[in-house]
Amino acid sequence: MSTRSKGPPKHQNRKAWKANAGVKKNDKELGGKLCPYPEITGVCPRCKAQIEWRRKYGKYKALTEPAKCNHCSKRAVRQAYHALCAACAKERNVCAKCCQPSETIVGKDAEKHREEQQMLEQALRNLRERDRRTLLRACVMKPRVKKIHPDAWLMEHSKSAKSCVGTLEFPSL
């Protein structure tokens, strides 16, 4: 019987499993490229690891419409696997997924993200066209750029923005 076998697996996998490995995708078709997942926010590190595992192994299912919050009963939950909306989770200072009190909440608030975007837009308005395009290209290619000091690189390439704006500090992207 298969239920009697105990111990380690007989063979070790030689290569890691990939989600959607056998599915052929045409990048030129509509929906051909895999959509990037939204940033995980408002959860404790343990729940973030669980959601990342789901994404890695193809088990993640995104929400098609907002879900109902367990606290305020409004349809305001915008992220998959969350039980509370962002406002209730922030108000109660708990994880939005497991509803446990947590000191470390992962991710940015929507307000903080909005403020950083406004600061960046203000800085971009005062730049020359050449510098603006350089900064935007750096923001788009950030994952491919060396991760040594990306903030220092942005500050170095935006010295003209500092002179125009004054003592503006760029948010870390």
Element containing residue 139 per DSSP (H, E):
helix 129-140
Better-predicted residue by pLDDT, 113 or 43: 43
pLDDT at 30: 65
Better-predicted residue by pLDDT, 137 or 36: 137
- Rounded distance, CA 136 to CA 142, Å? 10
With DSSP H G I counted as helix, E B as strand and the rest as coil, what are the percentages for the chain, rounded to 5?
A: 35, 5, 60
What is the model's pTM? 0.57
- Rounded distance, CA 41 to CA 21, Å? 28
Mean pLDDT taken over the chain: 79
